[in-house]
Amino acid sequence: MQTKGVIILVPLLLSFFIGSLILSIGLKLQNVISKIPMVVFLIAIFAGIPGAVIINKIFLYKRSMFP
């Protein structure tokens, strides 16, 4: 699951994060929730993607996320 099987999970996880971000933006526009959930999802997306690139390219971690 660490190498080739993870490709199945990538679309599921991306749709989860994007959907959660859209939901938090919509709820914030209706003043149902604070701005914090939207910021948390943005941090998760914009820290996770560069983090994966840094681990794979700079530190030469051998288990590639994308085969």
The per-residue pLDDT for range 15-52, each reduced to its tens digit, is 888 888 888 888 889 988 888 877 887 888 888 878 87
- Would 67 be classed as within a structural domain? no
- Would 39 be classed as within a structural domain? yes
Q: In the chain, what are the helix, strand and coil shares in percent, each to the nearest 5? A: 70, 0, 30
- Per the structure, the complete domain to which residue 44 belongs is given by 6-58
Check pLDDT > 60 for residue 1: no
CA–CA gap between residue 35 and residue 12 (Å, rounded): 25
Per-residue confidence band for 65, with pLDDT thresholds at 50, 70 and 90 = low
pLDDT recorded at residue 16: 85
User: Which of 9, 7, 14, 13 shows the shortest CA–CA distance to 66?
Assistant: 7
Instruction: Calculate the alpha carbon distances from 48 to 3, 9, 13, 28 in Å.
Output: 17, 15, 11, 23
- Would 11 be classed as within a structural domain? yes
pLDDT recorded at residue 39: 83
Count structural domains, the chain. 1
Instruction: Calculate the alpha carbon distances from 9 to 2, 48, 51 in Å.
Output: 10, 15, 17
Question: pTM of the predicted model, to two decimals?
Answer: 0.56
- Would 63 be classed as within a structural domain? no
- Would 41 be classed as within a structural domain? yes
